[in-house]
Amino acid sequence: MKADENRPVIAGLLALAAVAVAVGLVAAIAIVAGAHVLGLGGGHAAVVGGDGGATMIVPRPQKTQPASGPSITLGSNPTSSGSGQPPPKINKPKKQISLQSGETSVSPMGRIDLTGTYPGGEGAVLNVQKFSNGSWQDFYSISATVTNGTFSTYIQTGTPGMNRFRVIDSDTKLASNQVKVQIR
């Protein structure tokens, strides 16, 4: 009997280890070669602005002279002035819905793109309305949702002549400006 015949498990484990080492070496060579091809290897600094001698040396800190005057000039404090008047009120800009139409004239059932802005109206649902028979009416339940202060949707209509559209916030009832589109 040979020595290998008495120890088949050990021979199998040695063969498995030899295959693992060989596969590891091939994988390492492939990774190094791939990194080199992609420019990920070390030792190659990017040259910016054509100055091949650029380095990353930080200069030593130096003392600076303090400013001779005040850095910030503030108005007087209204509560300490003794005038007894309350501070002036700061009016926040009112939320406004601004609407634009991508088209001013389309054929019947042509696409009309409506876009706009609604600062502070994040997540609001805006219903499209059409002016018809002397009042604003919802236009076929078409709506747009405000995302990052903007919204967009499109409509189609076959009503000939000048058509007027707007959008209205379904919660606050704040309405946009109107846009006019000619259906020819």
Instruction: Give first-to-last CA distance, the chain, whole Å.
Output: 102
Sign of the CA dihedral with 49 first, then 51, 57, and 62 last: negative
pLDDT of 93 reads: 61
Whether residue 27 sits in one domain with residue 103: no
Reply yes or no on whether the pLDDT at 22 is more than 90: yes
Reply yes or no on whether the pLDDT at 168 is more than 90: yes
C-alpha to C-alpha distance for 74 and 13, rounded to whole angstroms: 81
C-alpha to C-alpha distance for 59 and 55, rounded to whole angstroms: 11
pLDDT of 173 reads: 93
Reply yes or no on whether the pLDDT at 47 is more than 70: no
User: Is 26 a domain residue?
Assistant: yes
Whether residue 34 sits in one domain with residue 102: no
User: Is 143 a domain residue?
Assistant: yes
User: Is 104 a domain residue?
Assistant: yes
Please give the share of the chain, as a percent, with pLDDT higher than 70: 77
User: Is 69 a domain residue?
Assistant: no
From 140, 158, 144, select the one nearest 113 (Cα to Cα): 144
pLDDT of 37 reads: 81
pLDDT of 151 reads: 96
Amino acid identity at 154: Y
User: Is 73 a domain residue?
Assistant: no
Reply yes or no on whether the pLDDT at 44 is more than 60: no
Residues 6+ apart with CB under 8 A from 22: none
pLDDT of 84 reads: 62
User: Is 88 a domain residue?
Assistant: no
Mean pLDDT lowest for which of 58-72, 133-147, 151-165?
Answer: 58-72
User: Is 78 a domain residue?
Assistant: no
- Its domain, for residue 17, covers 3-38
Residues 6+ apart with CB under 8 A from 140: 128, 155
**CATH number of the domain within which 131 lies:** 2.60.40.1930
Whether residue 179 sits in one domain with residue 104: yes
Reply yes or no on whether the pLDDT at 63 is more than 70: yes
Mean pLDDT of all residues belonging to the chain: 83
pLDDT of 33 reads: 87
Instruction: Quickly state the pLDDT bin for 60 (edges 50, 70, 90).
Output: confident
Whether residue 102 sits in one domain with residue 179: yes
Q: Total domain count for the chain?
A: 2
Instruction: Quickly state the pLDDT bin for 181 (edges 50, 70, 90).
Output: very high
Reply yes or no on whether the pLDDT at 162 is more than 70: yes
pLDDT of 146 reads: 94
Neighbours of 23 (CB within 10 A): 10
User: Is 138 a domain residue?
Assistant: yes
